[in-house]
């Protein structure tokens, strides 16, 4: 029961309270780049969720079972990037084979997940937060993906409506998007301190 409690709390924490986009400001590139349309945003969120779950789990395993045993913590960055790039390649091949239409609609964004800092950030955070349980690492990774999906979908919904809004000339385009992102992050600050 205690484990389950920790898992649920960890999940809620990473989705809402410690959301990578809103509180850590990671993964801003796809967050602003692919949030034009809500269906694209959701697809991107799903791809990121998949990759982050896979790479978060893998990196935890490599970190705890290989790097820490050998005292090679300094090589974390290199290893993690390797794992993420590999996972993205794998996802790309899989999508291309089984979901060609989804693959087409992603286009260039799928390879760009490789350099999505939210993913590398999460892999490093898992280590920083001292997660020493594989299950917890998996749940946190998955939660990070869900959190990213939520963030990007909220943003896409707002931006779709923003198209119809009467925005002052000087704020059209990127400025109003950045202001929106800032206000959203501010709103999510309200969750801070809800747990612990």
Partner 1 sequence: MRYHTRECVEENLAEMLELWNSAWPAGATMLGLGFGFALVLLIASEKLKVWVDPKVEQVHGALPNLDCGTCGFAGCGQYAKAVLKNPELIGKCAPGGPETSQKIAGILSLQVSDSGAVQKPIVHCHAHTADKTYYAKYQGIQTCIAANALANVQACAFGCVSFGDCIRACKFGALSIVDGLATVDYDKCTGCTACSKACPRNLIEMVPFRYENMMTVACSSKETGKSTRSMCKVGCIGCGLCVKQTEQFTVEDNLARLDYEKYEATEQTETAMNKCPTKVIIYRGKTKNPQDKPGG
Q: Summarize as ranges the residues that interact with partner 1 (CB under 8 A).
A: 62, 66-67, 70, 72, 74-75, 78-79, 82-83, 86, 89-90, 93-94, 96-97, 100, 104, 107-108
How many C-beta atoms surround the C-beta of residue 111 within 10 A? 13
By C-beta, is 38 or 90 nearer to partner 1?
90
The radius of gyration of the chain from alpha carbons, rounded to an integer in Å, stands at: 18
As measured in angstroms, the least distance from the Cβ of 127 to partner 1 is 16
Residue 45 C-beta: closest distance to partner 1, Å: 19
Tallying the residues shown for the chain, one arrives at: 196
> How far apart are CB 18 and partner 1 at their closest, in Å?
29
Nearer to partner 1, 72 or 171 (CB): 72
User: Which DSSP string corresponds to the chain?
Assistant: -HHHHHHHHHHHIIIIIT-TTTTS--SHHHHHHSTTSHHHHHHHHHHHHHHHHHHHHHHHHHIIIIIHHHT-GGGHHHHHHHHHHHHHHHHHHHHHHH-HHHHHHHTTHHHHGGG-HHHHHHHHHHHHTT---HHHHHHHHHHHHHHHHHHHHHHHHHHHHHTTS---GGGTTHHHHHHHHHHHHHHHHTTTTS--
CB 113 within 8 A of CB 30: yes
Nearest approach, Cβ of 66 to partner 1 (angstroms)?
6
Least distance to partner 1, CB of residue 79, Å: 6
């Amino acid at each position: 029961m205690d484990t389950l409690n920790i898992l649920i709390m960890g999940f809620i924490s990473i989705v809402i309270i410690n959301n990578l986009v809103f509180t850590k400001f990671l993964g801003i590139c796809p967050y602003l780049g692919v949030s034009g349309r809500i269906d694209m945003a959701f697809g991107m969120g799903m791809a990121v969720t998949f990759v982050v779950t896979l790479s978060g789990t893998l990196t935890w395993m490599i970190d705890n079972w290989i790097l820490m045993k050998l005292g090679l913590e300094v090589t974390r960055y290199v290893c993690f990037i390797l794992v993420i790039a590999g996972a993205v390649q794998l996802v790309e091949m899989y999508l291309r084979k089984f979901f060609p239409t989804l693959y087409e609609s992603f286009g260039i964004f799928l390879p760009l997940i490789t350099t999505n800092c939210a993913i590398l950030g999460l892999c490093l955070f898992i280590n920083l937060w001292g997660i020493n349980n594989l299950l917890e690492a998996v749940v946190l990774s998955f939660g990070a993906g869900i959190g990213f999906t939520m963030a990007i979908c909220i943003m896409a919904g707002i931006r779709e409506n923003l198209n119809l809004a009467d925005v002052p000339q000087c704020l059209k385009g990127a400025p109003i998007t950045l202001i929106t992102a800032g206000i959203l992050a501010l709103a999510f600050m309200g969750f801070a301190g809800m747990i612990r």
